[in-house]
Amino acid sequence: MLLLLVAAPLLMPVIELLLHPLAWSVWIEADRIATLFTHTITLSFGTLLISLPLGIVTAVILERGNLSAHKLFALLLVFGLFIPLPLMASAWQIAFGTLGPRPWDTGLFPAILIHSIAAFPWVVLILILGLRRVEPELEEDALQVMRGIAVVWSITLRRIRPALVMATLWVLVQTSTEIVVTDLMLVRTMAEEVYTQFVTSSIGGARAMALTLPTFVIAGVIAFSVTNYHPGLLTQRTSRQLFEIPRWASFLGLLILFAIVAIPSINWLIKIRSVSTFLISVRGQFYLIFDSLLWAIVAAVIALSLAILAAWQSLESVRFRRCVVVLAVCAWVMPGPVLGIGMKSLIDLFMDVESFIFPASWIHPLTFVLYEEANPSPVVWVHVVRLFPFALALVAPVVASIPIELRESAKLDGASPLQILRHVILPPLRWFLLPVTLVLSLLVLGEVSASKLVQIPGHATFAQEFFNQMHYGVSSTLASLGVLQIIVTLGVFAFIVYVSRGFVRSPNSDPGNGL
């Protein structure tokens, strides 16, 4: 099942490249490719230079300082993870537009700023997870001879180098493979060139893969090596105070963070101007967004189920565990358009095989479900692939923390694999399955780059409708759709916080019992 649902769409672009070696000729246009590559590098590293230092400072303050309103800071940061990128890009374009023409309305500079704002919460999250793995005795011993800030600089930051590498890789991968912001800001990058090659050539899938394969392999090797070096990143839960933070600094930081999260909503509300305008604009969109949310939840459930099974089987075989890690890393670093191309090629292959096996007069179920009938099946499939790495990262540490004695005892008692799954593997996971499912569904609710290539006409997603409206300018309709999505996202997020209250544990709780 894992091979069919996750590995097959990832392999199809590579297979197309092997079947069409002429696709490598895409690199002949060296001057144009060099320009696109320069734009991509500038965008990625510009985003990194802003988001990583700010993320380091914020993470250290949250984990090692006596920050006032700590929980409010955390809630705002976590909510920032779930604001869809198209929504954020359009909202900040409104804000930049009020500052005047270039360099604020379009171009690399605003694109870097938007990507930095989007990456900031993720950088903080990754670094906090790294900080919670630092050995407390090292910091406590160092505090005897130096001040708290010196301890952070000399000891703490050195111990979180794997997390720093992961945060760096996260920013570079997410920025270089995304097309929503660059499309809106009129910045040509390698990710957009992938889509261009696909629609302008008969072997567009192979040419797209040839264009991205070098960076894809480099990112995959780095991510795989970091994962191997720093396993179980999510398992530790320790937080310590090393220095004092003035109340004015806490208030200022809270104000800035609130502005970053609230500006999208405020800009949309200003653009709408009245409740009646909002209601008229979203009259036909309520069904669409809740339909998209429903199918995002279905994709999250499937991805989470695959992740649980993969994490469980990884306990039994080191070779299988390495294969799962490679698969998850590939699913993470593969650009959205390339994944969409691979999924489309796989669907075409299924239809060709079905046409070869069954006579034309017979019903072709795969063709009906994946191509002809207006339904969300291809989009859900794409979302499953996109969510699998995140689901695995959340599930694997908890599954790995299950004592080996329990599994061995169940085997000796003659328990079947299904019984082991039900009575040994699932009980430690039950407490967070619902919130994690909702978290994953919110992560994919705004996905566009891959799903738009396989979306069946007649069944659009809310994210695709929003993306289409973005190209007609920032109208009251677009603003109303943005506010509607913020309301739904905020509602789901509030429900996640509510159902998770009973599962919040103290910082010194057993690391094997939670994330």
Q: Report the domain count for the chain.
A: 1
pTM summary value: 0.83
Is the link from the previous residue into 103 a cis peptide, with omega within 30 of 0?
yes
Q: Is residue 391 assigned to a domain?
A: yes
Q: Is residue 193 assigned to a domain?
A: yes
- Is 449 buried (19+), middle (13-18) or exposed (0-12) by CB count in 10 A? buried
We report the CATH number of the domain holding residue 342 as 1.10.3720.10
Report which of 127, 158, 132 is spatially closest to residue 52, judged by C-alpha positions: 127
Q: Is residue 68 assigned to a domain?
A: yes
Q: Is residue 215 assigned to a domain?
A: yes
CB 179 within 8 A of CB 115: no
pLDDT in the model for residue 301: 95
b/e code 410-437 from CB counts within 10 Å (16+ = b): beeeebeeeebeeebbeebbebbeebbb
* Residues of the chain under the 50 pLDDT cut: 99-100, 103, 229-237, 504-515
Q: Tell me how crowded residue 7 is: count the other CB atoms within 10 A of its CB.
A: 16
Q: Hey, what are 492's tokens?
A: 């789901």
Gyration radius from the chain CA atoms: 24
Q: Tell me how crowded residue 183 is: count the other CB atoms within 10 A of its CB.
A: 22
pLDDT in the model for residue 503: 54
**101-157: per-residue pLDDT in tens?**
554 567 888 899 899 988 998 998 888 888 887 777 787 777 777 777 777 788 888
Q: Is residue 145 assigned to a domain?
A: yes
Q: What angle do CA 461, 466, 471 make, to 5 degrees?
A: 130
Report which of 241, 228, 239, 53 is spatially closest to residue 147, judged by C-alpha positions: 241
Q: Is residue 245 assigned to a domain?
A: no
For 65, phi then psi, to 5°, come to -115, 160
Q: Is residue 187 assigned to a domain?
A: yes
Q: Is residue 244 assigned to a domain?
A: no
Quote the domain boundaries for residue 116: 2-239+256-513
Specify the DSSP element, H or E, that contains 272. helix 247-272
Q: Hey, what are 108's tokens?
A: 């690399």
CB 250 within 8 A of CB 448: no
Q: Hey, what are 364's tokens?
A: 């072709």
